[in-house]
């Protein structure tokens, strides 16, 4: 009944406009608004096209055409129309807002965020632009940044119910992650090694993150302790840079000191298709042992696949200098496949499997030296309660010299 009434109203408006000789001039926009109110997209588009036939470069008519295409689901055509508008009128934030709505409808959330950031830069005092950016950030999983935007919305428009609700939800999100680990290494040629640790990762702001941890090692009746810390700076456009180091009461089984540098950058590729995104990580790590100095370079590529599958490939090169025995370079590599298994009662169960060749890690004395290896392993991770998870892994390493190592471990983590 309501649609019939609005349709009759639109017809009466057109007849009156024809009688007054106004259709195609100043009357076209009110006519379009009436058709849009009844979601009569074809009639609305006809009215816009009549105006464009007279003035093909009328930015207001092109903007209405872009909106109608978006509302009617013709997203590819709408994107093309908005690209014309952005080129013709680059300083109008409403055009960026419209383009962002197309990206959101297509599921291209990162593109929507970038576009809305440009709109906000043009007019940082408009709460509707900041609210749209907050919603896009929230949908993209960037909750902390969304919370900051909604705080700006409340500053500009204190009565915003949406911003108040979003900020309240953001205040309940955890900033810290505490993890506890226990690991065991079994050797057929030596006594078992045991090591464990505790670590705290803190997300202070969307751009700053810290990590502090302490590890303890028990190797054949010898005990060692290690402390490690790092700082990460992150931006949405440039990626993340991490620097850190460690010191230890080494007892000859762990490095006396470490220093490391890491650069992490990711790209979202598309919403559909095989490759949804890619992340590249470069790592440079220095180890100082009592008997050796090691410099390693690592390059990792992480590919995001459909249905939450991931595949990573890591290549490392290490320069080992053994005191009194010269220097050598050794390569190594690893590939890992991650996959979801189930979601019992909304909790996530995930798994992974990996294969590595070469000397994979230099963090313990049993993993340095002149040997090569092949390692097979896998892991399971389960979110058994809200903000709590547990995971376990097992691995088998076959070394040159007819030696082997079997490793397994458990991790518990809690967000707060």
pLDDT, tens digit (0-9, with 9 covering 90-100), for 405-415: 999 999 999 99
Q: Is the pLDDT of residue 343 over 60?
A: yes
Query: How much is the average pLDDT of 214-220?
Result: 93
Structure tokens given for 358: 């070469």
| Terminal C-alpha separation, the chain | 52
Average pLDDT score over residue span 78-88: 93
- Whether this prediction's pTM lies above 0.75 is answered by no
Mean predicted confidence (pLDDT) in 123-140: 87
pLDDT band of residue 142 (cuts 50, 70, 90) is confident
Question: Residue 348 has what pLDDT?
Answer: 82
User: Is residue 103 over pLDDT 60?
Assistant: yes
User: Is the pLDDT at 107 greater than 70, yes or no?
Assistant: yes
Please, what are the domains in the chain? 2-138 (1.25.40.10), 176-415 (2.40.160.40)
Binning pLDDT at 50, 70 and 90, where does residue 366 land? low
What pLDDT is stored for residue 209 in this prediction?
94
pLDDT at 39 over 70: yes
Kindly state the average pLDDT of the residues 70-92: 92
Chain mean pLDDT for the chain: 85
Digit-coded pLDDT (tens) for 41-73: 999 999 999 999 999 999 999 999 999 999 998
| 292 vs 210, residue with greater confidence | 210
Task: Give residue-wise pLDDT tens across range 146-198.
Answer: 877 887 888 888 877 666 666 555 555 678 999 999 999 998 888 899 999 99
């Amino acid at each position: 009944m309501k649609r019939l009434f609005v349709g009759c109203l639109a017809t009466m408006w057109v007849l009156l406009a024809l009688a007054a000789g106004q259709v195609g001039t100043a009357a076209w926009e009110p006519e379009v608004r009436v058709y849009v109110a009844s979601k009569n997209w074809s009639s609305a588009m006809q009215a816009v096209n009549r105006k464009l036939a007279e003035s093909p470069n009328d930015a207001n008519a092109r903007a209405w055409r872009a909106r109608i295409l978006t509302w009617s689901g013709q997203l590819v055509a709408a994107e093309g129309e908005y690209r014309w508008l952005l080129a013709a009128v680059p300083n109008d934030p409403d055009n960026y807002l419209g383009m962002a709505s197309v990206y959101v409808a297509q599921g291209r959330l990162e593109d929507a965020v970038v576009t809305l950031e440009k709109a906000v830069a043009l007019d940082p005092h408009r709460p509707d632009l900041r609210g749209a950016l907050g919603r896009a950030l929230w949908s993209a999983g960037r909750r902390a940044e969304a919370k900051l935007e909604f705080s700006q919305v409340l500053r500009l428009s204190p009565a915003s119910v949406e911003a108040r609700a979003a900020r309240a939800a953001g205040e309940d999100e955890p900033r810290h992650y505490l993890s506890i680990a226990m690991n065991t290494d079994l050797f057929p040629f030596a006594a078992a090694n045991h090591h464990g640790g505790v670590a705290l990762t803190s997300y202070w702001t969307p751009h700053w993150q810290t990590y502090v941890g302490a590890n303890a090692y028990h190797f054949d009746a010898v005990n060692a302790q290690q402390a490690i810390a790092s700082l990460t700076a992150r931006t949405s456009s440039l990626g993340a840079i991490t620097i850190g180091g460690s010191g230890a009461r080494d007892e000859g089984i762990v490095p006396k000191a470490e220093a490391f540098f890491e650069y992490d950058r990711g790209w979202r590729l598309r919403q559909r298709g095989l490759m949804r995104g890619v992340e590249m990580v470069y790592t440079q790590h220095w180890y100082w042992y009592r008997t050796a100095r090691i410099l390693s370079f690592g390059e990792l590529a992480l590919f995001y696949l459909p249905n939450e599958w991931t595949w990573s490939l890591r290549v490392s090169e290490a320069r080992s200098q053994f005191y009194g025995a010269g220097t050598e370079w050794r390569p190594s590599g690893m590939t890992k496949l991650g996959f979801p298994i189930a979601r019992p009662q909304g909790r996530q169960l995930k798994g992974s499997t990996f294969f590595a060749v070469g000397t994979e890690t230099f963090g313990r004395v049993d993993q340095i030296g002149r040997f090569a290896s092949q390692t097979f392993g896998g892991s399971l991770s389960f979110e058994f309660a809200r903000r709590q998870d547990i995971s376990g892994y097992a691995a088998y390493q076959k070394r040159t010299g007819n030696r082997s190592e079997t490793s397994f471990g458990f991790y518990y983590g809690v967000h707060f």
